[in-house]
Chain A
Amino acid sequence: MNMAKNLAFKQETFRDDYTYSNSAEAIRRFPFPFAEDEYMYSVNIEQHNGGAPGSVFEHAIDVDEHYVAECADRALVLEDDPLRYIALPHMMDAQWDMVELVMDSLSTDYPEQFKLTKDGDNWHWINKPLGIDQKFVFGDESTLPMQPFEFVGRQVQGDWIILDQRDDDLFADMGIVTSQADWSMAFDAGMSFKEWHGPVPQANELGIFDRALKYLLHLQYGSPVRRLNWTMTVNPRLDTSPENYPLWGPDNVSVTPENVGDKVHLRVELQALFRLPRSNAIAFSVRGYLASVNELATYPRWAKRLRRVLTNLHPDLSEYKGLDFYRQMVIDHLAPMDDGTELELGTHPE
């Protein structure tokens, strides 16, 4: 099926009654991150210049059935807490870079849904799914209803952090972050690569951050890269921010052996990095995909793999990711599906 042409957007929620779920097609293309029975942090960076048709890697920015609902959830978060959007003053060039990246990518990859017309600096942007029709002058802030990066940031799924590069380091000087796994943009704004990664266990000791930073400093325009990261979330909640921990913290201890399969979700982050042409900044997108343990377990291979990875997980990673309370329940829930047969290398569902 050609996702680009046949996108049907779901009406669903990521809070309160949590009506979010995945279609069979969305489960099939889920970016399952475990190629082996063990998981440890690594510099898992690869090229991001197109993937298999229909896969989440096909386009620079993936748009799927959850697009409209995710943008609506982002709007709710921003209304409640405007500081989820932060742009330090020296980032204006990068803001326009982001307008270009988002509008060019979406209109090229999803022409049925997004349309961009350029007449010199006079641009005309149409976003059909969200009902937006905006003419503006590229480079002239006053012609948009809000800051340029916020304008496009509200029209993409996933969080975006824009890194300023100076003194051989990267600084988190801009971001729109409403669906994060327990870190705060308002707090981390202005931090360097090593600082914002400060709380992560094990990775520094393995030399991962040194190597990753060195690599990223040389990232070229036109050659984006990507990596996967993962954690788990109770309920399909996008906004698991520290800001709102009082709201979702109690959910962590609401898991029982009866509800674990539906309540606990694997949350996979497709992280892509793009060099931006005007500002020389780097755009870092963190696109989250959520699937419940039961949804994933529709593929026996994934059920077995997930059980083994969780069983073998380093205790520091389990604690850091916040899995300690329910990890064993997930393992037990999947146990009847794991006959112990050897699984070949790879993340594929079948």
Chain B
Amino acid sequence: MERGYWIRSKPLYDSLVWKQHATGHVVIAEGEGGIAVLKLFQQMCPREPIKLLFADDTSATKKYADIITKLVPEGLQVCESGEAVLAALREQLPDCLMGTQFYVAGSEAFIWAVIEELKVYGVQDRNVEKELSGTLARSVYCVHCKTTDKDVHHSIHQCSGCGRHLFVRDHFSRRLGAYMGVMVDAEEPGNIPAAEEIYP
């Protein structure tokens, strides 16, 4: 919330649910998105072919690849990292487009990085199922120096590019996969409110 009203560019996320009327299903997940994948595969699976690209978050203690491997016998590709998932997706996308339903789960930054890849092939983000998993951490785009910082947990964030203290707004760009950060003390330099951890 900002100034007491809701900014409607902030995306809404849901729980992954299999969709009908697809010729194939592609699930793309990273890190805590593993939980969303496990929940998805506890539902009645569709008959069409399923492909699953997954990478554990290497820095996290909790890993899901092993459980997922047991649960998903076919179509699973476990990658080294989120970046590797994106690379695999880029490579395989041209083969699986017509009628394919896409599902994405992970951090917000990961979700929108995947959707940028899909967009190249004309897939609209409204046709992609998205589940935000694990963290509310934000990517923040500094509107002054155009640096994007990942994993921001606080209401006020010091930009790694220009050093300004940014207020993290709710205004979200899907193209940049980031929230807007605006200098918080522009009117009265030095008057910087305390940062609170509101995106755990």
Contacts and interface: CB of A to CB of B under 8 A. Distances in A.
A187 B176 contact: yes
Interface size class of B (residues with CB under 8 A): 20 to 34
22 contacts: A83-B146, A167-B124, A187-B143, A187-B171, A187-B180, A190-B174, A191-B9, A191-B174, A191-B175, A195-B172, A198-B10, A198-B172, A242-B180, A243-B143, A245-B186, A249-B183, A249-B187, A250-B187, A250-B188, A252-B187, A253-B188, A316-B5
A325 B9 CA distance: 27
A244 B144 CA distance: 7
Interface string B179-200: 0101100111100000000000
Given A204-B8, A320-B3, A191 B173 contact: yes
A188 interface: yes
B48 to A, nearest CB: 24
Nearest to A252: B187
B110 interface: no
Interface of B (DSSP majority class):
loop
Contacts of A128: none
A249 B180 CA distance: 17
A184 B7 contact: no
Interface of B: 2-5, 7-10, 124, 126, 141, 143-144, 146, 164, 169-176, 180, 182-183, 186-189
Interface of A: 83, 167, 184, 186-191, 194-199, 201-202, 204, 242-246, 249-250, 252-253, 316, 319-320, 325
A137 B182 CA distance: 43
B174 A198 contact: no
Contacts of B4: 316
Contacts of B180: 184, 187, 242
